[in-house]
Amino acid sequence: MADPYSKLVSAQFGRRLAGRLGLPAPTPLRRYRPGDPVVSGPVLLGAAEGSRLGPSLTRTLEAVRAEVHETPAEDERYAGLVFDATGITDSTRLGQLRDFFSPVIRRTARCGRLIVLGTPPEEIEDPVERTAQRALEGFVRTAGKELKGGATAQLVHVSRGGEEAIDSSLRFLLSAKSAFVSGQVIRVGARRTGEADGQQPLRGKVALVTGASRGIGASIAETLARDGAHVVCLDVPAQGEDLAKVANRIGGSALQLDITAQDAPQRVVEHFTERHEGLDVVVHNAGITRDKTIGRMSADRWEPVLAVNLAAQERLNAALLADSSPLRRGGRLIGVASISGIAGNVGQANYATSKAGVIGHVQALAERAAERGVTINAVAPGFIETAMTAAVPLVIREAGRRMNSLAQGGLPIDVAETVAFYADPGSDGVNGNVIRVCGQSMLGA
Ligand code: NAD
């Protein structure tokens, strides 16, 4: 699935030519295959003095059978560099980041992982500590831009009391499942009830994926089925044939429905109450574009985009969070936003408004969802290779692909793996997050 330019520069001649011309030479990203280990080489683990995550980090690294080093070995290349920075309580101690990473960052393996863990600044009262913790972001985002060879960098903010909840985030970020996620800040809160089966974390769960007949939605449906869920694939009746193919392939079922229909929330509630006796994971993936600049934007381009991308999702979530909803405790509501909703995009005022609304909706409902034992999060994809982006003119398409730290487009599976991470029962401390799946795109940074 590599694009033509990536194919060219993966050959020795092409790579040399690109180097001479100063053009990007994207590294083919490693992606997860069932049975792969979480981490495929040694991990160097460090901590600032007084940090609090040591025991949880050690437990996860042991559970995934990582070879852990606490001091760098001569000439070793590291699949993971993990630094617990929760002990950095004032800015004069930030140099500990440099002390740990400077000697080893150039020894990060191909598609390696750099992870810094801190405390969410907004939860810290002391202004001195809050300042120092906020500063970690600048370091991590820069590391993401400097790393080569398909490696990524992330910051994980762990609430006080959330120490036991970091396992699923760490597994996701260390593994090839997070191939196209870089420069992100992920927040892990204190809730922890869910235990997951390592191979099939969604066994016995029922999931709904909207817009599942093709593209990213089909990949999300496949990935949730791989993880053990029974997936109900929803799409408009016009997509019925493709929808049935996806549902059959993954042993799921199909539901033909236009999510903007007046009675759509009621029909979804009835379907899951009557046919499945409940629902665990809902992925609002269906989305459309009707591009025009604001001066030429007619109501018939504006209204459908807002209706499909935002209003349908708000109405369905309201029904699912109401009493007598089939959504079970431990449920997951997952939105699909876009980096256009963060950065804005010429010709996409309708789309960007709807996708910024998806982010707002996640933030607005996180607390209420948590009261019901449910989490709500979103992914914000950047440039993903799908039918939607194949229709973009070549020059804009090429710019979209290269303008990120990994110098390539992502694949639908990259979005799907992030959705599956949210869906994992072990991710119940992950609430109100928006993770960009964009290879650290320069847009909206
Ligand atoms: P796609 O057009 O290939 O698929 C979208 C699906 O949604 C289609 O099957 C369509 O029939 C369905 N759909 C549309 N309106 C519907 C309705 N009213 N009811 C039910 N189903 C409906 O798009 P894609 O590229 O796979 O994108 C999936 C999601 O990811 C969208 O929300 C999109 O905005 C978002 N996204 C995509 C990219 C990208 O690069 N492809 C980037 C950022 C965000």
Question: What's phi and psi for 98, nearest 5 deg?
Answer: -65, -45
**What is the Cα–Cα distance from 77 to 84, expressed in whole angstroms?**
20
Choice from 255, 258, 288, 359 to test ligand 1 binding pocket (greatest atom count within 8 A of CB): 288
Contact (Cβ atoms closer than 8 angstroms) between residue 281 and residue 375: no
Here the tokens at position 277 are 């006796």
Q: Is the CB of 80 under 6 A from ligand 1?
A: no
Q: Is the CB of 213 under 6 A from ligand 1?
A: yes
Query: Of ligand 1's atoms, which has the minimum distance to the CA of residue 339?
Result: 43
How many angstroms separate the alpha carbon of residue 387 from the centre of ligand 1?
A: 10
Nearest CA residue ID for atom 40, ligand 1: 384
Span 357-362, mean pLDDT? 98
Mean pLDDT for the chain overall: 94
Residue 81 exposure: Cα atoms within 13 Å on the Cβ side: 30
**Does the pLDDT of residue 245 top 90, yes or no?**
yes
* pLDDT tens by residue, 312-348: 999 999 999 999 899 999 999 999 999 999 999 999 9
Q: Is the CB of 217 under 6 A from ligand 1?
A: yes
How many angstroms separate the alpha carbon of residue 436 from the centre of ligand 1?
A: 17
Lowest mean pLDDT among 122-136, 187-201, 283-297: 187-201
Query: Of ligand 1's atoms, which has the minimum distance to the CA of residue 355?
Result: 34
Query: Of ligand 1's atoms, which has the minimum distance to the CA of residue 239?
Result: 11
Count other C-beta atoms under 10 Å from residue 11's C-beta: 10
pLDDT in the model for residue 445: 65
Angle of helix 349-371 relative to helix 312-321, nearest 10 degrees, comes to 10
Query: Of ligand 1's atoms, which has the minimum distance to the CA of residue 238?
Result: 11
Q: Which one of the listed residues 5, 32, 78, 351 is annotated catalytic? A: 351
pLDDT in the model for residue 216: 97
Q: Is the CB of 259 under 6 A from ligand 1?
A: yes
pLDDT in the model for residue 196: 65
How many angstroms separate the alpha carbon of residue 286 from the centre of ligand 1?
A: 4
Q: Which helix (H) or strand (E) holds 115?
A: strand 108-118
Pairing of strands 327-336, 375-381: parallel
ipTM of this predicted structure:
0.99
pLDDT in the model for residue 375: 98
**Does the pLDDT of residue 425 top 60, yes or no?**
yes
**Does the pLDDT of residue 41 top 70, yes or no?**
yes
pLDDT in the model for residue 192: 63
Nearest CA residue ID for atom 32, ligand 1: 287
pLDDT in the model for residue 211: 98
pLDDT in the model for residue 19: 67
pLDDT in the model for residue 15: 67
Question: What's phi and psi for 186, nearest 5 deg?
Answer: -115, 130
> In the sheet that 327-336 helps form, which strands lie side by side, from edge to edge?
253-256, 230-235, 206-210, 279-284, 327-336, 375-381, 434-437
Here the tokens at position 427 are 């991710």
How many angstroms separate the alpha carbon of residue 287 from the centre of ligand 1?
A: 4
Contact (Cβ atoms closer than 8 angstroms) between residue 100 and residue 117: no
Q: Is the CB of 388 under 6 A from ligand 1?
A: yes
Query: Of ligand 1's atoms, which has the minimum distance to the CA of residue 388?
Result: 25
* pLDDT tens by residue, 57-88: 999 999 999 999 999 988 899 999 999 999 99
pLDDT in the model for residue 395: 87
Nearest CA residue ID for atom 37, ligand 1: 381
Burial class of residue 69 in the structure, from the number of CB atoms within 10 Å of its CB (0-12 exposed, 13-18 middle, 19+ buried): middle
Q: Is the CB of 64 under 6 A from ligand 1?
A: no
* Cα angle: 42, vertex 58, 123; to 5 degrees: 115
Span 102-128, mean pLDDT? 98
Q: Which amino acid is at 432?
A: G
β-partners of residue 114 are: 81, 153
Rg (CA), the chain: 22
Predicted confidence band at 393 (pLDDT cuts at 50, 70, 90)? confident
Query: Of ligand 1's atoms, which has the minimum distance to the CA of residue 286?
Result: 7
Query: Of ligand 1's atoms, which has the minimum distance to the CA of residue 384?
Result: 40
pLDDT in the model for residue 14: 66
Here the tokens at position 275 are 């046919």
Nearest CA residue ID for atom 31, ligand 1: 287
Dump the DSSP string for 305-343: HHIIIIIHHHHHHHHHHSTT-SEEEEEEEEEE--THHHH
How many angstroms separate the alpha carbon of residue 259 from the centre of ligand 1?
A: 12
- % residues pLDDT > 90 (the chain): 87
How many angstroms separate the alpha carbon of residue 388 from the centre of ligand 1?
A: 8
User: What is the sign of the dihedral through the CA atoms of 382, 388, 393 and 398?
Assistant: positive
Q: How far is CA 399 from the centre of its chain?
A: 22
Q: Is 95 in a helix, a strand, or coil?
A: helix
How many angstroms separate the alpha carbon of residue 308 from the centre of ligand 1?
A: 10
Choice from 181, 235, 354, 385 to test ligand 1 binding pocket (greatest atom count within 8 A of CB): 235
Which domains, and CATH codes, for the chain? 1-26 (no CATH), 31-188 (3.40.50.720), 206-437 (3.40.50.720)
Nearest CA residue ID for atom 10, ligand 1: 211
Lowest mean pLDDT among 92-96, 197-201, 344-348, 437-441: 197-201
Active-site residue, 422 included: no
Q: Is the CB of 354 under 6 A from ligand 1?
A: no
pTM for this predicted structure:
0.95
Q: Is the CB of 175 under 6 A from ligand 1?
A: no
pLDDT in the model for residue 154: 98
pLDDT in the model for residue 359: 98
Contact (Cβ atoms closer than 8 angstroms) between residue 283 and residue 220: yes
Q: Is the CB of 358 under 6 A from ligand 1?
A: no
